Structure 1
Amino acid sequence: MLVGLCTALLSAIVTTAPPAAASADGLVAAYGFDGSPGDSSGNGNHGITLSPTWEQAGKFGQALSLNGSHSTVVSVPDSPSLRVSGAFTLEAWVRPDDVEGWRTILLKQRSGGLSYALYAHSSWFVSDGENSVTDEDRLPVDTWSHVASTYDGEDLRFYVNGTLIASSPAAGSVTYGNGELSIGGNWVWGEYFTGLLDELRIYDVALTAAQIQSDMTTPINEETGPDDPPSAPGTLTVTGADSATLQWGAASDDHGVASYEVHRSVWRDFVPRANTRVALVTGTTYTELLAVGTHYYRVVPRDTTGKAGPPSNQAIFTRSQQGLAAAYGLNDHMFDASGHDNSGQLYYCDFTDTGRFGQSIAFDGTNSLFSTWDNPFVRTTDAFTLEAWVRPSELSGSRPIITKARANGQSYALYTDGARFTSDTEKSVASPVTLPLDTWSHVAATYDGATLRFYVNGEEVASAPASGKPIFDSGLFRVGGDPVRNEHFAGLIDEVRVYNIALTPARVQSDMTIPLA
């Protein structure tokens, strides 16, 4: 894990906030939680949360009330200022209801893990390795405690109520991806905070004990009068075929509604977060051209002070494509973008930010693979197309990209050096092209009932006569490995598609440029 504050994700509010009271230099984010998760540091690191609850009796002014679920977690978009490097300070006032297990105060995420984090009893960050410091004692429940962690390039320290409790040698600069900052929980492991959270600060310098003690007595925000957030927007609807056109009713607010955040996800019943926001508009309509797949939308209003209101209802939009049987964009999820519910599971592999479009999956060449159950849609009949973007790190031996298993064999398969399918006998085509290592290449195979063709980067490089229909049973559909043959892909795979028709070269080339959801 990483240097973390016990996070419970905050409310659906994106706000500006009044400037922070005088504090040490190096302040990159400051949240007083006086009715919103707005950043008072001046760096614009404002948060958003789905179901905010504000407790009037905060440590200073109001406080964020966290219920231990994703709906109250505050999500803050990645920004350069949040990528603290060789030194930092993380601190907050907390009043926990429960201190058992991992209770996130704050956590800066990266693909598959954390960059830094503050928990109720420990702090973590990742450089070349994992660095941590832990308080063996638990905080008291239903009592305000100030928790802080500092890193100065040599030691990671943990403070409770301004007193140094534990320290551990540490070294290196923090490792980052483009993950969001989450407060009150995290989207990697959950680890939700329950209770109240107030006066959260992040610095890109290591404060002294005296400076931490000064922050303990200094509220982030000056006293302000009540300011209600906007109302929820009117009913959200979406129409269209290739493009999604959204419409919604206007929200109302005492200061006036300034804009609407449009959020999109491939997850049903998703919570609007920093990484789901796709647009900020001033009107009540929005149109975008979408990749093939099923998409879910919600809209969040924001008033002229920056405060956001409750999100709209969820609206669904599906863009289909002729003959598409299965499709995987592999952007931190295993959802099937074809709409046929062929979603899968990862084994001994994970997502990486180095994708052809967005993210991809990294395969170790030994035992990693992506697998789904048998599904009628991946049982192609008279024709098929198999395609993917690949970035191999090793090519010796047989390196499978896509396989559909059957008893004692394969129904069809796409490899880095050819393709095959089995009808009455095995039909195959071999590629004369050796793919370059550590470089993205698009690989595809088509079968039209008479010819099996192999493409590299949209160009046909080999073909072979073939006939018959692939034979299927209940075998698994896999990406990146065939454990029965002990064959595994080494490198990155992205944008996997299977069709029950043979695409033309122009269609293959078109797919190369269109990312999946």
Structure 2
Amino acid sequence: MGLIVTAGVLTVSPATAHAADDNLVAAYGMEEEQGGAVLDMSGNGHDGNVKDPLRVNGKIGKALRFDNAQDLDRVLVVPDAPELSPSSAMTLEAWVQSADDRPDCLIAAKMIDQTDFSAGISMTNSGFRIGGEFQGTYHGPLPAGEWFHLAVVSDGARTRLVVNGNEESSAPVSGNIDSGSGPLVIGGQGDLTSCFAGIVDEVRLYARALTNEEIARDMVTAIAQDTRPSAPADLTADVSTGVAQLSWGAATDDKGVTGYEIHRDTSPDFEPSDRTKVAKVTGLSYTDACVERGWTYYYQVVAVDALPQYGPPSDLVSAKAEDPDCPPTAPKVTVYPRKGWAELRLGGGYDEHGISDLQVHRSTRPDFTPSAETLVARFDRWVSQVYDSVPAAGTFYYRTLVVDTAGQPSEPSPVTKSDISAPPDLQTTIAGAYAMNEGTGKEVADTSGKERHGSIWGPDITWAEGKHGKALAFRGQGAHVHVWPHPSTGAGTISAWVKPTVAGLRLPVLSWQLNGGEKTLGILTSLNSSYPTPAAMLDRRLVWTTYAIAEKPLPLGEWSHLAASYDDGTVRLFVNGELVAEGFYTIQFADTGNLKIGTMDYDLQGTVIDEVRSYDAALSPAQIKTIMNTPIG
């Protein structure tokens, strides 16, 4: 019979330890702070020991983690004693959380010898050896990362498997439970080697068959009992700021208070429960800002200790918020993968008082939690588009969150997966590089290694001081540098440092023209009098012209870096390394061609151009910034 993991868990309220059971042979709460000793809390002295223990938070208080570390032999071993092998009836139970689905690993067992056990709980088979044969059930591997309470029971007539307080299977048996001289082993095998990977807590062994109700009671009863916390004192609610600001005095506990649960209801007669819980904090104050305006709410605070045990509630207070402030709604992110980067479009993330922090997080793990290590972009306002460059091809996962002006964070967005290809290689895709540092003559050299040198056309082109070294100033209609041949294989990027002198006129400063101008990728410092702003142009002569137009004009007489790229039906304009506009039209950008620095058709009126590059690929936004900040050698 398979383990029915969707079976409902029997609901039992937290309880104090029931009266001492004379048939409780051994009990291990794993609450020790240090050392390898693990005490038997039944009082029978069956203490155990574990080498190099890993003490972690468990189902109730602390627990032991086991990690299949063969070299460390990290197994809890309790030496054999006659009372650990009851023959006529037995119950063995434990809280278990597996870390993987490794089969056939013992979790807790009383061993007969190194290979056989009298009673055992394992990843797949739990039960007893009776009359030399295994009597139990195959329940399938435990789903990783979930807590399960497992109990195997034999009364000499039947064996039972009880999961989370519910009986999953039973079978008739006849005879006593086999016994031997092996130890009680937790987290390992009979040969005292590790196999199980996961956490074990609250192990009990009884010399009788418990009922399902008794097992359910054990589920919520700590082995290592301590007193409950006291009630928090002097709870007050301050609404002077328009929201309910609660504060209270510290509760006491013999082993320390770990936190406080805040409970709220609209009725003064409520009792704290999961329904009324609104928060858990470790301090002595809480601001309940997200409530309905003008409603009266009633509050109580409950202290919690490490087991965890819950103390009595505080006194009741009431509050009416006149200026509530809810956390922002969780944003949404849609990812469009590009070559070496991704375009993220954001939605949601609303807050009635505004957003002060927008965070974009990326990881290679699908189950990641946003942290400083995963943060890739941050803004002090809401933005609807974000461009994220990645270092190499891979599968990436994105989440976003926002923080409002009161410092309240939203829930992170759901994880969005995207497969992003590698960015173009700058060395292999470069088509031309023109520093224009000659300072004299009628030729500009291509330093890319492709030997695509340019020729200066027009008498009014003069050498000038550039962004880096020398540059060319263009004046008069037809003044340009002609580079032939300059073919493309399907995509392209062109870029230059430009110092414009006039706006409001159509001023193309750089263009990559294929097949005699049939297809053109171009950059303009000013589109026209209606749009005196820079633009990227994608032209298919006699058919269509598409522009990606910036919102702001370039400053006259100052250097600006402009770049345009085309790939997969999209032309993009970059200004000073930032992607500012896109246009959409599909052409086959592959043919013989030429590069024109300047223009044959317009007068650039002294505009200065420097550091021209072309690439036979659409560069990522990060690569555009790289070439902008790297002078041509």
Q: TM-score, normalised by structure 1?
A: 0.38
Rg larger for: 2
Q: Which has the higher contact order (CA 8 A, sep 6+)?
A: 1
TM-score, with length taken from structure 2: 0.31
